[in-house]
Amino acid sequence: MRFHGPSAGVLFLAPALSLILVFFALPVLAAFALSFTDFDIYAIGDAGTLRFIGLGNYQRLLADPLFWISLKNTAFFVFIGGPLSVALSLSAALLLHSRLTRWPNVFRTVFFLPVVTTLVAVAVVWRYLYQPEQGLLNRALSFFGVPPVDWLGDPAWAMPAIILMAVWKNFGFNMVIFLAGLQAIPERLYESARIDGANAHQQFWRVTLPMLAPTFLLVTVMTLIGYFQLFAEPYVMTQGGPANATLSVVLLMYQEGFRWWNIGYAASIAFVLFLIILAGTLLQLAISRGNGGAARPSARVSVRREEADA
Amino acid sequence: MSRISRLLLVASIVLLGGCRSEQTVVTELHFWAMGREGEMVQRLIPEFEAAHPDIRVRVQQIPWSAAHEKLLTAHVGETMPDVFQVGNTWLAEFVALDAVLRLDDWMSRPDAPPAGDFFAGILEGNRIGATLYGLPWYVDTRVLFYRKDLLARAGIVTPPRSWPEFVSAMRRAIATPESCQNGLLLPINEWQGPIVFGLQQGATFLRDGDRYGDFESPAFRRAFDFHGSLYAENLAPALGATQVSNVYQAFASGQFCFFLSGPWNIGEMGRRLPPAVQAHWDVMPLPAPEGSGWPGTSLAGGASLAIHRDSPNKEAAWALVSWLSRSDISLRFFELTGDLPPRIGAWEQGRLAERPRMAAFREQLERVRPVPRIPEWERIAYLVGRYTELAVRGALSRDAALAALDADVDRVLEKRRWLLEREAATR
């Protein structure tokens, strides 16, 4: 008997697809439509007060100083915090991967602990650390004669303080991914490099990094996407203050949407952020493709050569 | 069992149930209350139910942080409770959603609490236009907490009654060693400071039927200048609210003499200040711009009880709301929570003003005014806080801050203007 109608594959996918459709695609489409209206508290009460305003929200957004402040803050967080976080993750992974490190499993667990800890709990503890008078950090600094820093109260220091905490909280995740990447590099590559007379530096730049390129791409793309969506850290620790120094794009979107109920305007912020992240990701992919064309084949060639030797 | 007999069984159960419920119709009333009030009011409910055997009250306690969103989503989902606690600044929003029952007719019934018994400013805060939408449940206002001992060391024994007296008291205290390091704790990003001073100067904050911002008016300008001068003269430290991690510790260690706050801190101070300080702090009504106007106007705040417009149980809801606003009940509620009763009768019946530190609240509550009652107010208040911070930090001049504030407020009120125009056009 022949089965007519949708194929078995479609049938099996149907539950997941319908969930995605109902809980993701439709809301996204609705939000996209809302971003062209002034949907607000009045419209919740009486849909008749809803006005279609075309690109009005987007125009207003581009003229909104708060949006530019939040974009600047978010960019600062992404471009300072992101590389810092990736560099720290890579260093930690290299240390753990090195044979000189004792008890690597213990350290791996310890470094990963902040990742699985609730952010709110972490933020509360870090608020104590950052406390200007009794905080541990300032006490430690005063030991070296550094005058107290008002970490979360001074507009100049609040974002660096948030970055420090976020990097500490998140680096363990990327570290584990890097570790996996490092462990996948065949030992024989290092062996042949050593035979060719490469020192540790050269081994790192010529073998480790090129072989880590796919991992690197994954980590940087994920970090970029994650860091652009900065929200919980400033939400819990500073509420975007002091003087908007830690106001991120997502926090602005949250405030507009769920504090002031300017849902239409908040939706337009969401789509602009989406476009920014999309552009950033595409740019990264393009760069890595440009680099990868030069870097990866050489590694592959050396593998092949080795295999041929064997 | 056949289908017919099953049907018969269901029908008979329904009929029997119908018969029984006709004898005592019990109305189930849903009541949403927030935070500690939601917890403590449950202790009063059994007494209400005993007096009203036909009503059962289901109290749903909602944390303050989620209350606003819960109420809004309940409104959208048409699952609003019959009675709900509503913060004063939210009332206008739920009226705009057409979710709140008008209480004017109910207030003219014989079982209604006499309107004249409520503090006038507090009741006014529940009116939008001329219509009453909420019945005050408990009141909140701002007064000055101060250190008697530290001020006495600077030779100040009578609380200041005017702005000049207030300023000179702070100057003397700061100049006196062994007194306070700062005069006043007033976080720079809180809107309450400039708004309270504005109320005292008679500022209305908005103009033309709340269509435009009016923060550049001379009245608010005077208030804003006074507020700014407190920081410029180092009478108040330029700190944000999140920078003061432990107010009680700072108050106990004499980091400041005065502290603008509300009734909840009476209990908190009692719990958190060290015993050695307990005898040395007190509360005073606000100084007025000029001594003759004492006490200076303060904010009319607090929470009210509102009835949902589409509630099928309006009679029962009214019974609960008017019962909770009774003087004797609000006194019991005060003992449970420390929330101040909104009725003058309750204050007299319970001799609250004779209790330590309560006289100041009694005097202050005679002089309270509500802020504008429009749905946009919370947003406007936030903007006031933001521009105040920018001005105090020196990022903007005071003129520029007020001009920018008015421009932002005008933009926030754009939809309101449009709605009012549309309403006028259809009339």
Q: Per-residue pLDDT tens for A192-233?
A: 999 998 888 899 999 999 999 999 999 999 999 999 999 999
Looking at residue B232, what is its pLDDT?
94
Superfamily of domain B25-140+300-350 in the CATH hierarchy: Periplasmic binding protein-like II (3.40.190.10)
Nearest-CA distance A242 → chain B (Å): 7
SS3 B87: strand
Report the C-alpha gap between B39 and B31 in whole angstroms. 12
Residue in A with minimal Cα distance to B386:
A243
Q: Output the 3-class SS for chain A.
A: CCCCCCCHHHHHHHHHHHHHHHHHHHHHHHHHHHCCECCCHHHHHCHHHCCECCCHHHHHHHHCHHHHHHHHHHHHHHHHHHHHHHHHHHHHHHHHHCCCCCCHHHHHHHHHHHHHCCHHHHHHHHHHHHCCCCCHHHHHHHHCCCCCCCCCCCHHHHHHHHHHHHHHHHHHHHHHHHHHHHHCCCHHHHHHHHHCCCCHHHHHHHHHHHHHHHHHHHHHHHHHHHHHCCCHHHHHHCCCCCCCCCCCHHHHHHHHHHHCCCHHHHHHHHHHHHHHHHHHHHHHHHHHHHHHHHHHHHHHHHHHHHHHHC
Do the domains spanning B25-140+300-350 and B143-299+373-426 agree at the CATH topology level? yes
Say if residue B134's pLDDT is above 60. Answer: yes
Residue of B nearest to A257 (CA): B69
Q: How distant, in Å, are the alpha carbons of B121, B256, B360 from that of B349?
A: 21, 36, 17
Facing A45 at nearest CB: one of B98, B242, B390: B98
pLDDT of residue B143: 95
Rounded to whole angstroms, the Cα distance separating A164 from A150 reads 14
Chain B residues with CB under 8 Å of a chain A CB are 69, 72, 75-76, 93, 96-99, 189, 239-240, 242-243, 245, 375, 378-379, 386, 389-390, 393, 395, 415, 418-419
> Would the CA dihedral through B339, B343, B347, B350 be positive or negative?
negative
pLDDT tens readout for residues B301-346: 999 999 999 999 999 999 999 999 999 999 999 999 989 999 999 9
Confidence check: pLDDT of A298 > 80:
no
User: What's the pTM?
Assistant: 0.81
- Residue A194: burial class (beta carbons within 10 Å; 0-12, 13-18, 19+): middle
Contacts of B418 in chain A (CB under 8 A): 51
Question: What does the pLDDT read at residue B38?
Answer: 93
Check residues B30 and A288 and name the one with the higher pLDDT.
B30
pLDDT recorded at residue A308: 43
B78: nearest CA in chain A? Answer: A45
Beta-carbon separation of B375 and A239 below 8 A: no
A contact test, residue of B78, B242, B409 with most A CBs within 10 A: B242
- Cβ within 8 Å, pair B242-A239: yes
pLDDT category of residue B137 using cuts at 50, 70 and 90 = very high
Name which of A73-82, A292-301, B248-257, B357-366 the model is least confident about: A292-301
A297 vs B119, which has greater pLDDT?
A: B119
Q: Where are the domains of chain B?
A: 25-140+300-350, 143-299+373-426
Cross-chain CB nearest to B419 (options A49, A238, A243): A49
Chain A to chain B, count of Cβ pairs less than 8 Å apart? 55
Query: Which member of A41, A131, A241 has the closest CB to residue B240?
Result: A241
Chain B, nearest residue to A242 by Cα: B240
Q: What is the pLDDT of residue B210?
A: 95
> Does residue B358 surpass a pLDDT of 70?
yes
pLDDT at A57 over 90: yes
CA dist B23 and B36 (Å) reads 37
Q: What percent of chain A has pLDDT over 70?
A: 92
Cβ distance of B386 and A46 shorter than 8 Å: no
Q: Give me the pLDDT at residue A305, please.
A: 43
Q: What is the pLDDT of residue A295?
A: 45
Residue in B76, B189, B243 nearest the CB of A44: B76
A56 in reach of chain B (CB within 8 A): no
Identify from B95, B245, B423 which residue to disrupt to test chain A contact, counting A C-beta atoms within 10 A and taking the largest count: B245
Q: What per-residue confidence (pLDDT) applies to B6?
A: 59
Categorize the per-residue pLDDT at B228 as very low, low, confident or very high, splitting at 50, 70 and 90.
very high
Tokens of residue B310, six digits: 């589409």
Nearest CA in chain A to B404: A65
Sketch the domain layout of chain A as residue ranges: 1-25, 64-309
pLDDT > 70? residue B200: yes
Full DSSP string of B395-414 = SS-HHHHHHHHHHHHHHHTH
What is the average pLDDT value for chain A, to the nearest integer?
A: 87
Of A38, A131, A132, the CB nearest to B415: A38
What pLDDT was estimated at residue B3?
Answer: 55
B147-191 pLDDT per residue, tens: 999 999 999 999 999 999 999 999 999 999 989 999 999 999 899
Look at residue B238 and tell me whether its pLDDT is greater than 50.
yes
Query: Are B242 and A242 inside 8 Å of each other by CB?
Result: yes
- Does A152 contact chain B (CB < 8 Å)? yes
Please report which confidence band the pLDDT of residue B76 belongs to, taking 50, 70 and 90 as the band edges. confident
Closest CA–CA distance from residue B247 to any residue of chain A (Å): 13
Neighbours of B103 (CB within 10 A): 24
- Nearest chain B Cα distance for residue A152, angstroms: 7
Residue of B96, B386, B418 with shortest CB distance to A41? B96
Q: Do A243 and B97 touch (CB under 8 A)?
A: no
- Tell me what pLDDT residue A294 has: 43
Confidence of residue A310 (pLDDT cuts 50, 70, 90): very low
Please, what's the largest Cα pairwise distance for chain B?
A: 95
What is the ipTM for the molecules in this complex? 0.75
Quick one: average pLDDT of A55-75? Answer: 93
Which residues from B are below 8 Å from A44, CB to CB?
Answer: 72, 75-76, 97
> Taking the domain B143-299+373-426, which CATH number applies?
3.40.190.10
What integer pLDDT is reported at residue A24 of this predicted model? Answer: 94
The CB-side HSE value for B130 (13 A sphere, CA atoms) comes to 1
| Residues B221-225, mean pLDDT to the nearest whole number | 97
- Residue A156 contacts B where some CB pair is shorter than 8 Å: no
- Test B96 with A243 for CB contact under 8 angstroms: no
Q: Are B258 and B183 in contact (CB under 8 A)?
A: yes
pLDDT at residue number A309 = 44
- In CATH, what number does A64-309 get? 1.10.3720.10
Contact B243 A238 (CB under 8 A): no
